[in-house]
């Protein structure tokens, strides 16, 4: 009989956030087992709800959301995004804004529009693995530059510089960072911008967590890039506005647009081919960006996100052989398992064993393109009692390995 194989271009494409261990967890749930999932930043299951004002905008505009919109997004929503960045000092016009079905779709579209076979894209390690997967799927080569755990997970500039070649097209900056929770200081962002300027590279700045900051302040990459470094800035409603399932994101192009006409024409072509973004969710963007920013209540001391993340870091650091750099932003922690204490050769197998024995699902570090099997990502979204139970199960499992 003939076999039906996946396309060759999928070879080597990984997205372990929703990979084999999640499939195992789903099979366990189908058998009636209860799994504590601390593997993915999906806010709704943990009780985080989108603001009521956004929900009203969604419902009230449904009658006008049955047809296609402009392929780049409805004008009012794109204008709201434009106004947001203008308020932060950026020179942005509405024609520089594309809306998408979440940032994930826009990452795919941008990479498809700019990558030729063999082109190299610099991506942080650890990373949000969609970046690596989409570079590979687009025919490019993902080259990972290291973040320095001993320096609060700030990217190693020397490592970036050493990996720039004649095939390098762009540097991906994930700031605030997923999975480490790092917030890059302005001087460091400026140094990365300067590298891009020196080598004629595009900056791809993933800023989806820009409002979920517990310590420090976020700087828009584009604000430092000026008019001579092409910068594509990605953000959306999924995290700060607790609307993951609505799939509403945007990308904004700034810099020497006259030199990027061909690339942006390709991006618009891909936008046309997918018809349009999710229209009902687009109607909430203006309300979200122009209304009360309730995320501020969650990320300050006493706020649920802040308190849970700090608690989780303390609990993890109390486990022998575990060290965790406290996150300054985002929803995650990326703890280290001391190789002198835990002799782990395959961290995906370790995470699967944890799932089977303790009914706890976390993300293994190599799934985020970290080169060593000595880290994992834990989502700090459950309320305190559940979070304590999750870390208790982790500690019990680790005790058997010491």
Q: Which residues of 92-118 are buried (b: 16+ CB within 10 A; e: fewer)?
A: bebebbbbbbbbbbbbbbbbbbbbeee
CB 220 within 8 A of CB 209: no
Q: What is the pLDDT of residue 285?
A: 97
CA–CA distance from 402 to each of 136, 322, 375 (Å)? 38, 11, 16
Q: What is the pLDDT of residue 339?
A: 96
Peptide bond before residue 179 is cis, with ω within 30 degrees of 0: yes
DSSP 375: B
Per-residue pLDDT of the chain (402 residues; tens, 9 = 90+): 778 888 888 777 777 777 788 899 999 999 999 999 999 889 999 999 999 999 999 999 999 899 999 999 999 999 999 999 999 999 999 999 999 999 999 999 999 999 999 999 999 999 999 999 999 999 999 999 999 999 999 999 999 999 999 999 999 999 999 999 999 999 999 999 999 999 999 999 999 999 999 999 999 999 999 999 999 999 999 999 999 999 999 999 999 999 999 999 999 999 999 999 999 999 999 999 998 999 999 999 999 999 999 999 999 999 999 999 999 999 999 999 999 999 999 999 999 999 999 999 999 999 999 999 999 999 999 999 999 999 999 999 999 998
Q: What is the pLDDT of residue 19?
A: 78
Q: What is the pLDDT of residue 8?
A: 80
Q: Which residues contact 362 (CB under 8 A, 6 or more apart)?
A: 38, 39, 351, 354, 376, 377, 378, 379, 394
Domains of the chain are: 13-42+300-399 (3.90.1150.10), 52-290 (3.40.640.10)
Q: What is the pLDDT of residue 13?
A: 77
Q: What is the pLDDT of residue 343?
A: 94
Does the pTM surpass 0.75? The reply is yes
β-strand partners of 376 = 364
Q: Which of 58, 55, 61, 24 is nearest to 39 (CA)?
A: 24
Peptide bond before residue 126 is cis, with ω within 30 degrees of 0: yes
What does the H/E/C string look like for 198-263?
HHCCEEEEECCCCCCECCCCCCCHHHHHCCCCCEEEEEECCCCCCCHHHCCEEEEEECCHHHCHHH
């Amino acid at each position: 009989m003939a076999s039906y194989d996946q396309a060759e271009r999928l070879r080597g494409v990984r997205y372990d956030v929703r990979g084999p261990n999640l499939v195992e967890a789903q099979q366990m749930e189908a058998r009636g087992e209860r799994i504590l999932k601390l593997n993915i930043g999906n806010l709704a299951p943990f009780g985080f709800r989108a603001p009521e004002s956004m929900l009203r905008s969604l419902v009230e505009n449904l009658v006008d959301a049955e047809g296609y919109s402009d392929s780049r997004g409805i004008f009012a929503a794109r204008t709201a995004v434009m106004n947001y960045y203008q308020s932060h000092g950026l020179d942005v016009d509405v024609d520089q804004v594309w809306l998408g079905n979440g940032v994930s779709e826009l990452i795919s579209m941008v990479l498809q529009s700019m990558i030729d076979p063999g082109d190299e894209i610099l991506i942080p390690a650890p990373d949000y693995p969609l970046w690596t997967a989409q570079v590979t799927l687009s025919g490019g080569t993902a080259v990972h530059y290291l973040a320095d755990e001993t320096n609060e997970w700030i990217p190693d500039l020397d490592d970036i510089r050493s990996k720039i070649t004649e095939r390098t097209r762009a540097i991906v900056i994930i700031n605030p960072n997923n999975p480490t929770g790092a917030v890059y200081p302005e001087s460091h962002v400026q140094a990365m911008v300067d590298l891009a300027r020196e080598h004629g590279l595009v900056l791809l700045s993933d800023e989806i967590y820009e409002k979920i900051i517990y310590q420090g302040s976020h700087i828009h990459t584009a604000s430092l890039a000026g008019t001579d470094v092409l910068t594509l800035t990605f953000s959306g409603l999924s995290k700060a506005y607790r609307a993951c399932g609505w799939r509403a994101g945007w990308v904004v192009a700034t810099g020497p647009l006259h030199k990027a006409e061909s690339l942006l024409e390709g991006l618009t072509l891909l936008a046309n081919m997918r018809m349009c973004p999710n229209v009902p969710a687009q109607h909430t963007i203006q309300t979200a960006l122009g209304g009360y920013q309730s995320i501020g209540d969650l990320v300050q001391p006493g706020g649920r996100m802040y308190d849970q993340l700090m608690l989780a870091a303390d609990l993890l650091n109390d486990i022998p052989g575990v060290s965790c750099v406290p996150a300054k932003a985002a929803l995650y922690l990326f703890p280290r398992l001391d190789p002198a204490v835990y002799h782990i050769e395959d961290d995906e197998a370790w995470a699967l064993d944890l799932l089977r024995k303790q009914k706890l699902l976390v993300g293994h570090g190599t799934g985020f393109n970290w080169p060593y099997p000595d880290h994992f990502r834990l989502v700090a979204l459950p309320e305190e009692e559940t979070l304590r139970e999750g870390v208790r199960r982790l500690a019990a499992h680790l005790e058997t390995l010491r």
